[in-house]
A and B are shown apart, each in its own frame.
Chain A
Amino acid sequence: MSYTNQRVAYGNTLVELGRENPDIVVLDADLCGSTMGKLFEEAYPERHFEMGIAEANMTSVAAGLAQTGKIPFTNSFAVFSGGRAFDQIRQTIAIGRLNVKICGSSSGLSDFGDGATHQCVEDLAIFRAVPNMTVICPADANETVEAVKAIAAYDGPCYLRLNRNDYENVTAEGTPFSIGVPTVLREGTDVAVFACGYMVGLALQAAELLKDELSVRVINVSTVKPLARDRIAELAAGVCGVVTAEEHNVLGGLGSAIAEVLSMSRLPIRFVGIQDEFGCSAHNYTELLAHYGLTKETIMDAVREIAAAAKKG
């Protein structure tokens, strides 16, 4: 079954996993119609917990459930499930390496209408800095299906960052997913673009539009932590520079993570992302992304700049 929305892919995959594994339990905080936890609730009402609008309690309850052998998934918008419940995640789940999966739905700017309070531009930075956490940001709905299966099979805390909106898949349905393994979606020799989430698709479009000028390698880094340091260095070897692209603050997210790995490489790096500001309301997703410079054109410009700088240098 193919989906074009990460939330729908997520909810349906939880139902599929719940069929085989009675230990899977799902918790929501009055947003199950949006997070798609409602699909699990309909299928297994006794294993779905409506915790009310109380994310802190939901998260610690999930920790307790994990300690009885369950595999809890907590759902809400990223800014709540991750942001509001940060201390609960840190204190009990991360320190204890508990088997809880935190789903950050409607992440980045994808909840375009609700504005800065409901958009989440800092979650990758926050959870990357928490020891023991695994941080996953799938490129599309197809990859979401496989990522959910992978984190359910992995024993430990995970943060899963999902997009709210429909968009075309850039990975093939059923592509095997391994936590920690970046994948090359397009080969190239001049510039390497490391991207995650929705920006992977834009990076591929940019590479295609640049093909007569420059040869661009596009890498989907859907596991932001643990980062495959050796593999990232390998994928950056031989190109003249690197561009990173994320729907997240450029401080602390994927770009920072890549720069940490490449800090001894002398490669120039350009960071496409949100320039340390909060989001705002918009009438649609595309115009909001454009407002913050999250477009294929911005990625193309960054690639050209990197190539030009390398030529000069």
Chain B
Amino acid sequence: MENREALLAYLRDKAKILRKNVIRCIGVGIPGHLGGSNSSADLLAALYFYKLRHDPSDPNRKDRDRVLFSKGHAAILQYSALAECGYFPKEELDHVKEIGSMLQGHPDFRKTPGIEAGTGSLGQGLSIGLGMALGQRLDGLDSKTYVFLGDGEIAEGQIWEAAMAAGTMKVSNLIAILDRNGLQAMGAVKERFDSAPLIPKWEAFGWRVLEIDGHDMGQIVDALDDATSDGDQPVVIIANTVKGKGVSFAEHVVGFHNGILTQELYDRAMRELDGEEAAV
């Protein structure tokens, strides 16, 4: 129990660092995808710093687990984790979207170590992950492929083509993490284009469904352990989250799907994440 508490505290600390890295990636005066990045931060921290088999000094290691952001606009969160793991120097986070930068607005595997494929034209990442999971299976590896999906994104029909295929083919090394932050670019998912009910949909497509609080580190760790336990089905973790989590003025705010920080807001976000300023 003591070990577990220490682990959870360690992962919470990593999640805080990732959220600060996200703010660093966005910087001042240029739009950045704060909301959907920081909603996934706890989940991604648990993946990279607890669950994943990977080696930052050898990004192409054959038996690595793979992580894809099908919701590719949250690339800055994955960059934040990759930098924190040491895939590349953290200074690169100051150059996101600059011409010639290794950190593009959406993931580009030719440019960024640790990125597995180009994603961001929404709806395609689950299929790409399915292909990787099939490749891992063909090679007799016990590796896993994790794919982050957005709850707005799953309106794309290809998600359900992939879901059907993975269910039919019983690809149990494929794990989808559905960041259900409730907001898409133009407003609340519920109001704009409701994707609910989620659990019966995924179950009908042959998936095992786990539903958790995506900000409760204990639940996240347990779900990841459960998802990678023996079974013959793909698993989807439906994580209920808050868009913009950890930065009070961005939480639940649609405008911070892709918003601009002033210097004042930038400083305030950093102070809040550091715990120096109580969230309002």
Interface set of A (CB-CB < 8 Å, partner B): 25, 46-47, 49, 51-52, 54, 56-57, 59-70, 72, 87-88, 91-92, 95-98
Give the chain B neighbours of A95 by CB distance below 8 A.
Answer: 108, 110, 118
| A87 engages B121 (CB within 8 Å) | yes
State whether the Cβ of B164 lies closer than 8 Å to any Cβ in chain A.
yes
Interface residues of B in 117-168 (CB under 8 A from A): 117-121, 124-125, 127-136, 138-139, 145, 157-158, 161-162, 164-165, 168
Docked complex Cα distance between A50 and B133 (Å)? 16
Give 1 or 0 for each of B92-136: 1 = CB within 8 Å of chain A CB.
Answer: 000000000000000011100000111111001101111111111
Closest to B141 in A: A68
Closest to B134 in A: A65
Among B109, B117, B128, B138, chain A packs the most CB atoms within 10 A around the CB of B128
Please, could you name 27 A-B residue pairs with CB atoms under 8 Å apart, sorted by A? A47-B138, A52-B161, A52-B168, A54-B158, A56-B124, A57-B130, A57-B162, A59-B127, A60-B125, A60-B162, A61-B127, A61-B134, A61-B162, A64-B130, A64-B132, A64-B145, A65-B131, A65-B134, A67-B117, A68-B132, A68-B135, A68-B136, A87-B121, A87-B124, A88-B158, A91-B118, A91-B121
| A46 engages B138 (CB within 8 Å) | yes
Contact of B117 among A49, A51, A59, A92 (CB under 8 A): A92
Sorted from nearest, which 8 A-B pairs have the closest CB atoms? Answer: A64-B131, A68-B135, A60-B127, A57-B161, A61-B131, A54-B161, A64-B132, A91-B121
Among A57, A59, A62, chain B packs the most CB atoms within 10 A around the CB of A57
Closest to B104 in A: A95
Interface set of B (CB-CB < 8 Å, partner A): 108-110, 116-121, 124-125, 127-136, 138-139, 145, 157-158, 161-162, 164-165, 168
Give the chain B neighbours of A57 by CB distance below 8 A.
Answer: 127, 130, 158, 161-162, 165
Closest to A25 in B: B138
Docked complex Cα distance between A62 and B117 (Å)? 12
Nearest Cβ on chain B to A48's Cβ, whole angstroms:
11
Tell me whether chain B's interface is mostly helix, strand or loop, or mixed: helix
Give the chain B neighbours of A61 by CB distance below 8 A.
Answer: 127-128, 130-131, 134, 162, 165
Closest to A54 in B: B161
Docked complex Cα distance between A72 and B131 (Å)? 10
Contact of B138 among A54, A70, A92 (CB under 8 A): A70
Docked complex Cα distance between A215 and B273 (Å)? 79
Give the chain A neighbours of B132 by CB distance below 8 A.
Answer: 64-65, 67-68
Docked complex Cα distance between A96 and B135 (Å)? 18
Among B116, B131, B138, chain A packs the most CB atoms within 10 A around the CB of B131
